[in-house]
Structure 1
Amino acid sequence: MITNLKDILLPAQDKNYAVACFNVFGYEDARAVVDSAEARNASVILSINLDMRQFMTMEEIVGMLRPMAEKSKAPVCLHLDHTYEVDAVKEAIDAGFTSVMFDGSQLPISENISLIRDVVDYAHPKGVSVEAEVGSVPYASGRDHIKSALTEVTDALMMEQQGQPDALAISIGNVHRLESGTVEIDLERFNELEKALNLPLVIHGTSGLEDKDIQTLSLRQVAKFNVGTVLRKSFGNSLRSTLESDPELFDRIAIMKKVIPDLKATASKVISLLGQ
């Protein structure tokens, strides 16, 4: 069944688990994620990032993923990840996404709040949820212009009260696209944010966190973890292994049928780690 972000995050926040938000790049990884969610009777989020949005049109993406979400026995949210243009966010809403993230983290907090308020006013009457970011989560590679800044409690509280998003991404030492090693999260800053805020919190850069930290945060106010690198690495490793094991294998469907089980196992592990 297709759902929005608010309807799956509020139960997660209340019952002390978190929902996995997987960046997907095609039918195969999306199919694996949805199948894993169904097998575990868990809710899940299919997320589209900037690279995917530049590769396919909004309509093509929705045409591929929305029917899968609608037919699923598990609650599935179709989410637009970090997007810096309000017009693009509104285009995604009109195309059929059920959740959007307008990322104003590189802007002054007053402008970030104002633009989020505009998106919320457009999205909520259509049943679409909105995620904001306060502070700035840096990238290990590929987005050098994105700054690194811990979330300030006063700014986050202003966003919650004035912007009224459905979820808030925070920066507490987490890093996008960390392919090796782990980071140390700032638990003191998290404690301050958790005490001040009521809305569901979001962690980006899950692949770079230690399992114990992920479990700790999912038992508290973090209700959504964004996952990209670990699934991409699983896909790449499985694809290489499949092709190397049979040099005569050329059929795409035959290849992907061998890759999907590894993706399902990876997705299932993440979903379990978050408490579902």
Structure 2
Amino acid sequence: MAEKIIEADGLGIRFVRNRRRQLRLRELFIHRGRRTGDDGRFWPLRDLTFTVRAGETVGVIGRNGTGKSTLLRLIAGVLIPDEGAIRVSGDVAPLLELSAGFSSDLTGRENLYLVGGLHGLSSAYLKRHFDEIVSFAGEQVERAIDSSVRHYSSGMKVRLGFAIISHLPHPILLMDEVTAVGDAEFRQRCYATIDRLLGEGRTLVLVSHNENDLTRFCRRGFYLDAGRLIVDGTIDEALAAYHGAVER
């Protein structure tokens, strides 16, 4: 049996809404502007326990606001849990916010080395694969590679980000709606890259609202609702639970 690569035990995280409660005029009059009840704290995820083994492909399903992207950020180590624990054995390739880490003051070339270096790729590796990475990002990026990223469209940034992150040798892939961006040609290039990475035995945790992507890449499914893990089964079982909840 393959080794355990991701383990969650009673995992939970608490957020505080970054906005003041808007009180009606009557509430202001009665309570003299004092806040009552809700202190703005809520749990986007709570009491999640699961294990993912090396080589598994897991689709995370649920309505908006059910904690899917938050779960990926906990696995990536971007967020720290408030209760329970998450243990990850191996480096993570986070295909989340693909333009994150880019500096608007630097060129595409400089950002390629910056972001690649932040994820552990050596300058020698990036130099050796530079043409390959830029070619993958497409003609628009190739023509603008020595221009400031502040002049790039959001699509160009995402293309360059995907091209860089997809070259990481890390065993765990975290993907959040990555294939929803770009044109049809770029999506097909993404699909081919993901197929290749999974063929190498990588572990995938995918958040997507695209059921074709979920059934294409994933064998196992997590269905989340109200921050809880309701179903941990096959991808078809998780999708059936999601559809049942939507119909209700």
TM-score class normalised by the smaller sequence: 0.3 to 0.5
TM-score by length of 2: 0.36
Bigger radius of gyration: 2
Q: Which has the higher contact order (CA 8 A, sep 6+)?
A: 2
Higher helix fraction (1 or 2): 1
Higher strand fraction (1 or 2): 2
